[in-house]
Chains A and B, each alone.
Chain A
């Protein structure tokens, strides 16, 4: 199934790859690691074969051609002289959603021409789901567990009933905001038709909107929330937990943030960094490309409605 030829593999490395980002690692580091592992894998496939053309900045070169070179005459292509055939600078790779340092979960990378798809996914503002863990009773200066505790409070008065009430109020406020942010007169026919379609996406990529927020687990001071949202970022989610704590007449801080879904990609599709080898990456690219082909609107949005 997987080609045994580095040139064929290189030519197949196009599209989206879905990886798992652990907490306490930067996206930049993951990108560097992924590039390094792919290039290392490619260089090990067939060590004695030469490929042309191979000049600096071949990132846009479409196809590689296999070519035999007489090594006794021309030493320029000798692996000890020219270095590895697949240079890390030649592989373009960009992320489509940025996860902060403390966030773990699904991360999409675009490889070579897939960087374009990664950009479209980002600009089309697809929805994401998060699972956030928090603790009542302590507020930290960063809002996350690694910060210094700056305030302590009681939390035993908080019952699941209060919790649900405040969360549904928040969700309702966000739904109202969602229609306001669409930039349409609320009394018009168009606004009615839009509302009939269901939730809609904001016009701006800077405004975080929450579509669904619910508590899935509440034990002792610890709780877990599941949030469906758009345009969010790590500090926003951390701030949200803090706000929930304050509204419940207590304090709270985050202990874990995990992205469990990004448009149609979820944790089952994500590759653990241990599995980053050529075979798995190529399989993952094929799978992600299939998902993108099945759901065209991820790349090409025609409607404002949330899908």
Chain B
């Protein structure tokens, strides 16, 4: 019998009315990779924030190596050998790797002896775990994958025996994910304990030896990974059985509804982000646009939807030119012509989070009949319309008068989708439709997009989730450094091939 290195007993945590963690019990064995899986809002991050000392539990005990400890701040956790790599890295961009790691642990006023020792220790750590980091490079020069390694190194240097990783793969390419998993395995071999928080089933199956499932603030199951499978885990997460594979009919592509010729777009800093891009999307077809975040997808979507000015090139809707560098239709005019847009970042662009739900459900269509008559909003019609589409799209809770920021991410996304799809657009531009959305809602959203396609809409799907692009698209193009670097029919194409294109290797 192995004694657990970390043991949580009856942990409770509430935020006001929300019971984020209910009587959580968890045992993590030394030298294992332990997965914690659950939908967004299941309470995984809250639980780990308690373990890392960022939040204090309302009740319950935490034991490390059998000894009860009191965690009042991250400092206490570090002393007890707990380290955490956050979803968003906590690094000073213009410092070097070395400076970032010793930040807060400088130990002396004028750098000298301690710094030399730190350098040596860090080099040893890098060698042991094959981290391959140059201590003198500046953070802003490093790729996302390397920044993550710096975070890992930082925790190790501070003596972490237990390393918590919060959704570590969200921002990585498939190749970077492979590298990360290699590092995590070698950490395990050296006797470190790793806690992996994720909502991706495939990572759990690949990497972990034990897995705990959370749902709505409760721990709903612990199991050895070898004794379970994806379907079973998904069912535990959602509380009902989930369709992991989409039922999709054969593509029946019609005439070209939307096309882009030699499009070049600059960002706000006057940097060319989209370089001479050509695209064609047919009726009844989903074109997937894959790529690592920041390779021009955002600017492309903004240009196509009329938000951003085109530098050169043309955009055609149903064969008619709608935009070039001289004349362009604004988002409103494009909407009238049957182009709908689900933006990548729902809170920054798709919604006014301080608005009530019904106000967001007419956003962009608020000046049309029957919502607005001679500039006066028709409250009754808006509310009845809102109720209808909230029911149809299963937005929960079904209260049009609730402020939008009180809805969960998935339901906010459904508000946007229901608004845009309800207009029955001919062309639909969708950016990251399921980012931060839980499994149950992902299934629903994907089904809606397929329905739209089957009704003859032309859909451009921009997503950093390769699985999503692969399962939805009929054709896939890959964008790298502002250019389209590859186009594939979605048959027999693998995520490896796409990954190489995304990384700009091929």
A binds B: no
Spell out A's residues near B (CB within 8 Å).
none
